[in-house]
Amino acid sequence: MKDAVRLEQLIAATAGGDKLAFRQLYQETSSHLFALLLRMLKRRDWAEEALQDSLLKVWRKSETYDPGKGSPSTWLFTIARHRALDLLRQKRPEDSLTVTNDEDGSSTMMDVVDEDENPEARAMEGEGMGRLERCMKGLLDAERKSVMLAYYEGYTHPELASALDAPLGTVKSWVRRGLTKLRSCLEAQ
């Protein structure tokens, strides 16, 4: 995502009702948020719905952002992640959530393309997904699996410990370290 200071300024201006600032915030963050949502939801229509709902919440709740509690990108990703988890619970309660890995152990992304979407939008989405994928590849295997299960699939720490057959404290450390590395990588791009 873009510079944290710039995002903080845009969020603050949005809190004041500045529609232009909100439009700029949307333009600078939507591809990253959409990439996360598409990865979590695995369906373009659900990801689009979640993105719209998430950004609507940003518009309505931007005054609640506190820079002392975390970076603006973390705040935005958290809003999007929570909306995705709500949609998963609402729309697919009967489905079990799993991580798909290919032969070399890395995550695979589902290729869902809407042929009616314009090429510029697809390019921006692909760029955001590419950044996220590159950053995920920079994590250690245990960190990557922990982050994917926790933040993309909604596993709790105890569920992670059980799924990965590891002590709870170790799993919490993997998630914390993985998120720290991921945040640094995404903010640097």
Q: How does pLDDT run across 54-102, given as a tens digit for each residue?
A: 999 999 999 999 888 888 988 998 899 889 888 887 875 444 344 444 4
Distance CA 39, CA 110 (A): 7
DSSP string, 128-170: HHHHHHHHHHTS-HHHHHHHIIIIIS---HHHHHHHHT--HHH
Taking the domains of the chain in order of start, what are their residue ranges? Answer: 4-188
Distance CA 50, CA 83 (A): 6
The architecture CATH gives domain 4-188: Orthogonal Bundle (1.10)
The overall average pLDDT reported for the chain is 79
| Cβ 135 vs Cβ 148: under 8 Å | no
Distance CA 149, CA 153 (A): 5
Q: What are phi and psi of 101, to 5 degrees?
A: -120, 145
Query: pTM of this prediction?
Result: 0.55
Distance CA 124, CA 186 (A): 15
> Tens digit of pLDDT for each residue in 158-180?
888 998 999 999 999 999 999 89
DSSP H helices, 16-140, are 19-41, 44-61, 72-91, 119-137
Determine the longest span between alpha carbons in the chain, in angstroms. 50
